[in-house]
Amino acid sequence: MPALDIVLFPFREYLWFYAGFLAFVFVVLALDLGVFHRKAHAIGMREAAGWSVFWVTLALLFNYGFYLYCKHAFSTDPQLAVLSGFDPNQQARYSALEFLTGFIVEKSLAVDNLFIFVVVFKFFGIPAKYQHKVLFWGILGAIFFRVVFIALGAMLLQIHWVTILLGVFLILTGIKIFFSPDHAIDPATNPVLRFLQRVLPVTHRSEEGKFFLKIDSAWKVTPLMVCLIFIEFCDIVFAVDSVPAIFAITKEPLIVLTSNVFAILGLRALYFLLAGVVDKFHLLKFGLGLVLMFVGLKMAWLNGVFGGKFPVAWSLAIITTLVGGSILCSLLFPAKKPAP
């Protein structure tokens, strides 16, 4: 499908779609915490697997509904009808494929973020039954910052040299991942954590999963809250890579936002599902590094070579091969255990 010079989902015309989608997300999250996880408890593998299937299924159902909507909207839009060679059905399939590719990219990059969650929860000594609560509020913050980053990205990427610059940034980030040590994060030496401990009235007490405690008529911040802030900071850093990566797949902010948010919604379940085995994917970082280098090349060079848009079906095949191949190689060639 040739690249289009017009925006398929103008913000002003689709403000209702953005508002409705975010309202739907907040309702689902409210049901998640207020009904299904109202009582704090440790999430087991079986429950995590069930929720993982639920979130992925919900994303796929949304994508199918999105395809049907695009098929109708594109065929009735008078501005699109006058475009030479424009096929509403083909463009609807293309837009749905962009959503799916963006979802897989974000989901794959999120797996690497699970390493950080494991280390941070261990460092702060957060009990398993309260980890879901921390991740729930962390996801709300993540959605807010993604909306901000996507809005900024949609404006900045209208400038050609910014697109080239972000593409180069992703390539360099991918190269950096190749040479970064495993589990490089150490919360004890992190300057953000040291700053939080200096400026916030932190207490080492933690009662019933509360974020704040009143001690001697003064409010104190519990380790749960410090952990939440630190995870939120990590997600902001993570978004600096992931948001431009999806913009390399599609320039439509609506598709970027929806695919991004659906991938984030399933992150908690994915954490509880993989937390115990995440160390087995020791070669995943190389697959993710290659993915970032590939999408960086798309932004900086390949899109231009292919007339403005690298084929999204090829992107999907390359990304799934890189991520799936790195996971498969991790299982076929387990990491050597250090000598005692």
pLDDT digits (tens, 9 = 90+) for 71-82: 999 998 878 877
Alpha carbon distance 229, 143 (integer Å)? 14
Q: Is residue 340 domain-resident?
A: no
For residues 53 and 237, what is the distance between their CA atoms, to the nearest angstrom? 27
- Asked if the structure places residue 4 within a domain, the reply is no
Is 135 a domain residue?
yes
Burial call 245-255: b when 16+ CB within 10 Å, e when fewer: bbbbbbbbbbb
Provide the mean pLDDT of the chain: 84
The yes-or-no verdict on residue 180 having pLDDT over 70 is: yes
**For residue range 306-315, what is the model confidence (pLDDT) as tens digits?**
877 788 889 8
Is residue 337 assigned to a domain? no
Q: What is the pLDDT of residue 65?
A: 97
Map 102-113 to HEC letters.
HHHHHHHHHHHH
Counting the structural domains of the chain, the total is 1
DSSP secondary structure string, 169-183?
HHHHHHHHHHHSPTT
Tell me if 272 sits within 8 A of 43, measured CB to CB.
yes
**Does 1 reside within a domain?**
no
- In tens, the pLDDT along 226-241 reads 888 888 888 887 788 7
pLDDT confidence of residue 239: 82
Task: Establish if 338 belongs to a structural domain.
Answer: no
Q: Mind listing the pLDDT tens digit for each residue in 151-164?
A: 988 888 778 888 89
Predicted pLDDT of residue 337: 65
- Cβ 27 vs Cβ 263: under 8 Å: no
Residues spanned by the domain of 83: 15-332
pLDDT score for 156: 84
| Cα 86 to Cα 29: distance, rounded to the nearest angstrom | 38
2: in domain: no
Q: Give residue-wise pLDDT tens across range 253-273.
A: 999 999 999 999 888 888 888
Asked if residue 7 belongs to a domain, the reply is: no
